[in-house]
Amino acid sequence: MNILVFTNHYPLKDRESTATKAVHYFTKEWIKQGHSVIVVYNHIELMAFFKMKNKDRVTESYILDGVKVLYCPVNRYIPKSDYIFKYEVRKVSDTIIDFLVKQNFSPDKFVVHFCAEQWQIVESVRRSLNCIPIPIFHNCDVRYKNRIKKIVTASNKIGLRSDKIRKKVLSVIDKNIDTFQVFSGAPDHIFNTVQPNLIEDETSKKKLLYVGNLIPLKKVDVTIKALALLKGKYDYEFNIIGSGESEKYLKKLVKKCDLEDRVRFLPRMTRENVLEFMRTSDCFVMVSQPETLGIVYIEAMASGCFIIGSKGEGIDGIIVNHESGFLVQPGDIDSLAEALEHYFKLLPSKLDKILKKSSNQALSYKESIVACDYLNNL
């Protein structure tokens, strides 16, 4: 099968982006399964009117894990708008079609991740393709309510990255349409080598972990403030892996809360090094909002970590509260502190039961399984 994938987030040739892993993992799994895949990475960037082109960004093609990728820089000039000027749409569309012709590639399936911002390009390209686009809605798409209606009208089925997104999309359309879920997955190999990280006794130091961008929506500050409330009662350490705009603020917060001996900031690291940290950690805490379904949750589950996440977000439904982890109100410091205290007090037998259930649930989210399910739904 020939599969054409449009996205405006994807790893570049020599750099991996944590925000774009999921789409690449799907495409490389499809390659392993014997399908032909071309990814068109429409990198949309707001430009100043006086800066009519970005000389640092040029169209290029490359191969990543067997996946052919066409990188197309797209200039957008109107702040707070998703509109792309028609001449820019034509230029990008012509480039894409010319590339597909040269590759002698005629798609059987046309998939569009992060569909709202690039839909003008999709509409232009589809005129030259005998293929109906299948949009995949992410969190960033659901704010475009008027565009959602237009996208759904042009499609015969849609994919949704979480149940929360499904509810939002269906609430603004008046058309019955076939829907399916597109879940993230974790690497198959980590399921074969990991056992739950059981705590030897109730007095052991608990090793807590966060992995991801240090930005406001991740609410790492809420975790720090919740841990500060419990400082004198439990022995723990909290490792934070990542970087971002909130890093300086979070470090100041740690100092203010007098947690410098308990909280450690670590820079971005390779996926394998992150997985190694997960294997030696006890509890993964990420209470972000909004959150589609970060692969990092599944990786932590597969690595044997206890999970604390947010109610009503992507992990809700995969983690069942008090059965395979804990879910708290996002942004609620007291709710998280209560959940952490409950976790610290868990008897080894109860902890073992929860970890085993979480680990078993994670098995359904192997990369190979979710990629195959995704393709079957297409």
246 falls within a domain: yes
- Whether residues 50 and 77 fall in one domain: yes
Domain that holds residue 210: 188-365
**Residue 370 domain flag:** no
> What is the per-residue pLDDT across 253-300, written as a single tens digit (0 to 9) for each?
999 999 999 999 999 888 888 988 999 999 999 998 877 777 889 889
Helix, strand, or coil (residue 3): strand
Alpha carbon of residue 170 to chain centroid: 21
Do 17 and 131 have their domain in common? yes
Q: How far apart are CA 254 and CA 263, in angstroms?
A: 7
Q: Are residues 323 and 216 in the same domain?
A: yes
User: Where are the strands (E) in 268-364, listed by range?
Assistant: 283-285, 306-310, 326-328
pTM to 2 decimals?
Answer: 0.81
Structure tokens at 329: 């109100």
* Model pLDDT for residues 324-347, shown as the tens digit of each residue: 899 999 889 999 999 999 999 999
Question: Are 178 and 275 in the same domain?
Answer: no
Q: Please report the pLDDT score of residue 60 as a whole number.
A: 92
Q: How far is CA 316 from the centre of its chain?
A: 14
- In the prediction, which pLDDT does 19 show? 45
Task: Say which amino acid occupies 324.
Answer: S
Q: Are residues 198 and 175 in the same domain?
A: no
The Cα–Cα gap between 139 and 246 comes to: 21
Same domain, 200 and 283: yes
Let me know if residue 377 belongs to a domain: no
Whether 113 and 135 share a structural domain: yes
**Domain match, 161 and 72 both:** yes
Residues of the chain with pLDDT under 70: 13-20, 48-57, 192-203
Asked if 297 and 318 touch (Cβ cutoff 8 Å), the reply is yes
| DSSP H or E run through 256 | helix 247-256
Residue 378 domain flag: no
116 occurs within a structural domain: yes
Whichever domain contains 242, its CATH number is 3.40.50.2000
Last residue of a domain, one of 125, 150, 182: 182
Q: Of 159, 182, 205, which one is at a domain's C-terminal end? A: 182
Distance of CA 140 to the CA centre of its chain: 11
Whether residue 374 is contained in a domain is answered as no
Give the chain's domain count: 2
CB distance 226 to 259 below 8 Å: no
Identify whether 290 is preceded by a cis peptide bond (ω within 30 of 0): yes
DSSP state string for 199-218: -SSTTSPEEEEEES--SGGG
Do both 119 and 253 map to the same domain? no
Q: Are 209 and 237 in contact (CB under 8 A)?
A: no
Q: What is the pLDDT of residue 13?
A: 66
Residue 94, in any domain of the structure: yes
Residue 192 has a CB neighbour count (10 Å cut-off) of: 8
Instruction: Let me know if residue 253 belongs to a domain.
Output: yes
Say if residues 367 and 185 touch (Cβ distance below 8 Å).
yes
* pLDDT for the residue numbered 184: 82
pLDDT at 18: 44
Instruction: Look at residue 189 in the predicted model and tell me its pLDDT.
Output: 81
DSSP, residue by residue, 75-111: EE-STT-----HHHHHHHHHHHHHHHHHTT---SEEE
3-state SS track over 30-66: HHHCCCEEEEEEEEEEECCCCCCCCCCCCCEEEEECC
Claim to verify: residue 139 and residue 223 sit in the same structural domain: no
Closest C-alpha among 208, 209, 225 to residue 332: 225
| Domain of residue 61, CATH code | 3.40.50.11010
The reply to whether 211 and 286 lie within a common domain is yes
pLDDT at residue 367, rounded to an integer? 86
CA pair distance 217, 333, nearest whole angstrom: 14
Residue where a domain stops, chosen among 140, 161, 182:
182
Domain shared by 15 and 130, yes or no? yes
